[in-house]
Amino acid sequence: MKVKENTLVVPEQAITRNRLRKAARELVAGRGIVPPGSFVLIQQMADEVIAQTETDESFREFAMVVCGNEIWRSVVAATPYNRRLLLLPQCLKNNSSCHAEIDQLGLICAGCQSCQIDSILQKAESLGYATLVAEGTTVAVSLVQEGSVDAVIGVSCMSVLQKSFEPVSRAAVPVIGVPLLFEGCAETDVDNRWLDDELTNFKENTDLKPLSVSALKEKVNGFFTEDKLAAMIGSVNDQTTQLAIQSMLTGGQRIRPLLTALAYKAYAPEVSEDLFAALSVVVECFHKASLIHDDIEDNDDFRYDTETIHKQNGIPVAINTGDFLLGKGYELLGKLPLDSSAMAACYQLVASGHVALSLCQGADLLASKHHQILSLDQQLEIFERKTGSAIRVALMLGAVAAHAPKSDLAILRTFSGYFGMAYQIKDDLDEFRESNEHTQVADYPLMLSLLAENAPELSTEDIRIAYAENDKKQVSEWIELHQIVVKAEDILQEYTSKSYRELDKLENLKMKLSLYTVLGKIF
């Protein structure tokens, strides 16, 4: 929606601002609206608030800001002060008497008390806030994604708040926006009573307290040290065990154990640190086993820019190492302190995922062997059953172990398929864009499927021959000519959007917001 500049105004009278804030709060509470809210939803809410309060329509964009605030209010209120960031604009300073310095992050207040920045910062920092005086929201979003803070209270002009909606919403950043009273780039003003209310608002609620994805990822990575893995998997003096542990330590983003950890932490009424660690290692055992076998099956000599196990030690040793990790994964799973129903559900989940992965890998290998160009639907089905199954096991293992409700498990099952498809589509796009001497035409099969469907002058046999001969130059020219990258990006957007829509159905807000953050980082 394109908004005229002259509509980006804040009501001059505090009574009008408060009336709109109160109406927005009542609307959110009455409807039971939970974050994150879409732009369309917030537009609709703002229209209702304007109509109910009989306020001039010139304040519609202001009403959108306060509606967005109310959607996030309960989450921000549940966030401890020391996990919040206060973001102030530099335009609050007094230009004629300011003694502050400016660095790459923003303004460093000198405490001269010539403007209100100093008193606001003192109040916020006394409560425990992290503070930043800078323009825009890029740094604030980055700090949330890095795990430095979990929520933001941002003071800014209406135009910046409007531009910030999309990136903040996409990253699912819990945020309260307090607009400056008027537009301008110097010596502006803010409703200090309103800002003080937002700064001091805290209500303990463990169900709403955000999970920091980045902090959790750091903790998960801490499980994967040689000493900790040796304690769980076995002695490094044994060569097979040593190879297995080395594969667990080498490369990768550990997305699967992170998903398991997120689900467990989001649903567990009480977190067992031992179970938390064991679940993460179990999932990574299965994942690394599949990669070892996958490298053999695809005849890949490098992974993470390192020679694969079969390249270094031969195929028999690599197969055995993968088998060892599979067995160890099931062994560790059987030792988890779970009740019989949860244990049975976990075994069923992992086993069915393993079967689905093997069937799909078989179809993929046979197609690759004969240099067969699959239809787009066939290729997407392989992505769903292969990558989707692996993500499904990782995500649902943590949820099942934590006794997540069946309704959420069903949603997570569907979400995993969409997420897996989007993840693999992005992977094919990245393989094509970042092609190097190790890249094969077979590494981006989605692009070939799209090429076959969108290049009428080419026969499937033409593409198959180029595929069989690994003629990357010819295939790249065809892909560029027929704008296959754009078409792949459209499909990626389709399945990313489906993933978000599925998440919106989740009852567990922690799980929903955490997965929003994961999607935001990946896509």
> Between 138-146 and 158-170, two packed helices, what is the crossing angle to 10 degrees?
30
Q: How far apart are CA 172 and CA 145, in angstroms?
A: 10
Q: How far apart are CA 448 and CA 153, in angstroms?
A: 47
Helix (H) or strand (E) holding 149: none
pLDDT confidence bin for 251, thresholds 50/70/90: confident
Q: How far apart are CA 331 and CA 313, in angstroms?
A: 25
For the domain 211-337, what is the CATH superfamily, name and number?
Answer: Farnesyl Diphosphate Synthase (1.10.600.10)
Tell me: pLDDT of 317 over 90: yes
Which range among 97-111, 195-209, 293-307, 471-485 shows the weakest confidence by mean pLDDT? 97-111
Mean pLDDT, the chain, integer: 88
For position 8, what pLDDT does the model report?
75
CA neighbor of 325 nearest in space, from 336, 333, 314, 335: 333
The 3-state DSSP composition of the chain as helix, strand, coil percent (nearest 5) reads 65, 5, 30
Give the pLDDT confidence of 26-35 residue by residue, as tens digits: 999 999 998 8
pLDDT confidence bin for 368, thresholds 50/70/90: confident
CA neighbor of 53 nearest in space, from 11, 31, 32, 22: 22
More confidently predicted of 169 and 39: 39
Helix (H) or strand (E) holding 482: none
Tell me: pLDDT of 5 over 60: no
Give the pLDDT confidence of 221-237 residue by residue, as tens digits: 999 999 999 999 987 68
DSSP letter, residue 135: S
Give the pLDDT confidence of 17-71 residue by residue, as tens digits: 999 999 999 999 999 998 888 888 999 999 999 999 999 999 999 999 999 999 9
Helix (H) or strand (E) holding 84: strand 84-88
At 135, the amino acid letter reads E
Tell me: pLDDT of 72 over 60: yes
Residues 6+ apart with CB under 8 A from 31: none
Domain with CATH 1.10.600.10 in the chain: 211-337, 341-523
Q: How far apart are CA 108 and CA 111, in angstroms?
A: 9
pLDDT confidence bin for 4, thresholds 50/70/90: very low
Tell me: pLDDT of 435 over 80: yes
Q: How far is CA 473 from CA 93, 209, 268, 436, 452, in A?
A: 57, 52, 52, 12, 17
List the end-to-end C-alpha distance of the chain, in Å, as a whole number.
23
Give the pLDDT confidence of 291-300 residue by residue, as tens digits: 999 999 988 8
For position 3, what pLDDT does the model report?
40
CA neighbor of 302 nearest in space, from 253, 251, 254: 251
Q: How far is CA 179 from CA 88, 176, 183, 319, 328, in A?
A: 10, 10, 9, 61, 56
How many of the other CB atoms lie within 10 Å of CB of 230?
15
For position 245, what pLDDT does the model report?
93
Q: What is the 3-state secondary structure (H, E, C) of 311-323?
A: HHHCHHHHHHHHH
Tokens 């531009």 correspond to 163
User: Which of 44-48, 159-163, 205-209, 304-308 holds the top average pLDDT?
Assistant: 44-48
Partnered with residue 244 across adjacent β-strands are none
Strand positions, DSSP E, 148-206: 151-156, 175-179
CATH number of 341-523: 1.10.600.10
Q: How far apart are CA 521 and CA 195, in angstroms?
A: 30
The b-or-e profile of 165-196 (16+ CB within 10 A means b, else e) is beebbbbbbbbbbbbbbebeeeebebbeebbe
- Residues, the chain: 523
Tell me: pLDDT of 439 over 90: no
Considering Cα of 280, then 409, then 507, then 177, what sign does the dihedral take? Answer: positive
If DSSP codes are grouped into helix, strand and coil, which group holds residue 408? helix
Token pair listed for 202? 């805290």
Q: In this prediction, what percent of the chain has a pLDDT beyond 90?
A: 62
Partnered with residue 155 across adjacent β-strands are 178
CA neighbor of 134 nearest in space, from 113, 165, 155: 155
Strands 151-156 and 175-179: parallel
Give the pLDDT confidence of 82-130 residue by residue, as tens digits: 999 998 887 766 555 565 555 555 555 545 555 578 888 889 999 999 8
Q: Is 114 in contact with 47 (CB distance < 8 Å)?
A: no
DSSP string across 248-262? HHSS---HHHHHHHH
